[in-house]
């Protein structure tokens, strides 16, 4: 009949579409190389030699502070030291961690996933989320189409053939994977809404005013856009559309730093910060500014507003409405 033929066509289209998207996102998750910090976070040859010669941690930290004064870094270790990777010999950007399995520093590292044999981080986190979503839909689709035969099996309405055991096995496998993937996908959706990584959930990043798990949260909508991008038509495609460069992230906690609340009106670059301010304010990139465009307020001090309009160089702190 026409209706049965149409149902078969819809079934085949949905089946093949879900399978293609599942394979595509899985492929991108596996073969997208983890993003590493740029060369600006590496120590110069002179600083590296001096760092290796120094034996006192205080002297080594002074070298790192001098090298990091121009970098967009706002987090430290729990002991308030600059985060440095001795293995890769570079200053770690915010949210960057060293993966012992890949033996590299990974930008916005979430975790090392053995199921894809790759690190999940800034470069492929969107692909990983889509992989979970399409595998979840694929399992749901398989379980739903086999359900009627599964019911017939228990009501003894299914013909007595060897295929009925295949139906039973297929339903249980699809249902089992659906339940397990659903929990993992729900957890990562929660992480996206909070703008956290798995590592940051267990070990909160440390800012100047202390550890805070929500330090990078900009609100659910902006957090979502940071991962999936501005163009909604590309959200469901395994195409890289995440905002930013992976090295510099907007943070609402910068405005709470008493040293950074002072707006400098002097005509000098940000790199002239003193020793007491190793992490100077740095303008956000264009893509990150788009995240803050709608709700941003410029924190300034009275008469200095005219200096901004006249093009004077100054530090600008972005505050977000909670």
Strand pairing partners for 119? 112
104 contact partners, CB below 8 Å, separation of at least 6: 34, 36, 88, 98, 119
* Average confidence (pLDDT) over 195-202: 95
Give the pLDDT of residue 253.
59
| 37-86 residue pLDDT tens | 999 999 989 999 999 998 899 999 999 999 998 899 999 999 999 999 99
The tens digit of pLDDT for each residue in 125-146 reads: 999 999 999 999 989 988 888 8
How high is the pLDDT of residue 3? 54
pLDDT at 7: 75
Query: Over the chain, what is the mean pLDDT?
Result: 78
With cut-offs at 50, 70 and 90, classify the pLDDT of residue 149: confident
pLDDT at 11: 77
Separation between Cα atoms, residue 166 and residue 163, nearest integer Å: 5
Contact criterion met (CB below 8 Å) for 94 and 106: no
What φ, ψ does residue 76 adopt, rounded to 5°? -130, -175
pLDDT at 314: 33
- Average pLDDT (2-14) is 73
| Residue 147: HSE in the Cβ half-sphere, 13 Å Cα cutoff | 8
How far is Cα 197 from Cα 180, in angstroms, rounded to an integer? Answer: 20
Average pLDDT over residues 164-171: 80
- List active site positions: 113
Residue range 224-246, pLDDT digits in tens: 999 999 999 999 999 999 999 99
Percent of the chain with pLDDT over 90: 54
Determine the pLDDT at residue 193: 96
pLDDT at 304: 37
Task: Among 7-16, 23-32, 91-100, name the one with the lowest average pLDDT.
Answer: 7-16
DSSP 104: E
d(CA 319, CA 322): 9
- Mean pLDDT, to the nearest integer, of 97-118? 94
CA 232, CA 239: separation in Å to the nearest integer? 12
Per-residue pLDDT tens digits for 275-309: 333 333 343 443 444 444 444 332 333 333 333 33
pLDDT beyond 90 at 187: yes
Report yes or no: 40 and 90 within 8 Å, Cβ to Cβ: no
CA distance to 48, 266, 287, per residue, from 261 (Å): 33, 15, 23
């Amino acid at each position: 009949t026409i209706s049965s033929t149409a149902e078969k066509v819809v079934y085949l289209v949905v089946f093949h579409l879900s399978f293609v998207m599942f394979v595509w996102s899985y492929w991108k998750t596996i073969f997208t190389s983890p993003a590493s910090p740029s060369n600006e976070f590496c120590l110069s040859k002179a600083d590296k030699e001096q760092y290796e010669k120094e034996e006192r941690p205080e002297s080594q930290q002074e070298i790192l502070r001098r090298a990091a004064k121009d970098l967009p870094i706002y987090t430290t270790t729990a002991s308030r030291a600059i985060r440095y990777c001795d293995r890769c010999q570079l200053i770690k950007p915010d949210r960057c961690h060293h993966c012992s399995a890949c033996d590299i520093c990974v930008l916005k590292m979430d975790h090392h996933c053995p199921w894809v044999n790759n690190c999940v981080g800034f470069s492929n986190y969107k692909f990983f989320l889509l992989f979970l979503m399409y595998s979840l839909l694929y399992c749901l689709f398989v379980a739903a189409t086999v359900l009627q035969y599964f019911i017939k099996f228990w009501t003894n309405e299914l013909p007595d053939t060897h295929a009925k055991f295949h139906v039973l096995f297929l339903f249980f496998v699809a249902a089992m994977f659906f339940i397990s993937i659903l929990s993992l996908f729900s957890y990562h959706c929660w992480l996206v809404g909070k703008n956290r990584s798995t590592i940051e959930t267990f070990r909160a990043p440390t800012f100047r005013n202390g550890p805070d798990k929500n330090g990078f949260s900009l609100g659910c909508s902006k957090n979502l856009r940071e991962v999936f991008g501005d163009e909604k038509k590309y959200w469901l495609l395994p195409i890289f559309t995440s905002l930013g460069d992976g090295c510099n992230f907007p943070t609402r906690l910068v405005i709470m730093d008493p040293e950074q609340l002072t707006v400098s009106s002097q005509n000098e670059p940000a790199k002239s910060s003193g020793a007491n301010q190793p992490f100077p304010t740095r303008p956000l990139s264009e893509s990150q500014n788009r995240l803050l465009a709608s709700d941003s307020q410029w924190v300034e001090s009275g008469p200095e507003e005219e200096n901004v309009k006249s093009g004077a160089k100054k530090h600008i702190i972005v505050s977000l409405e909670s």
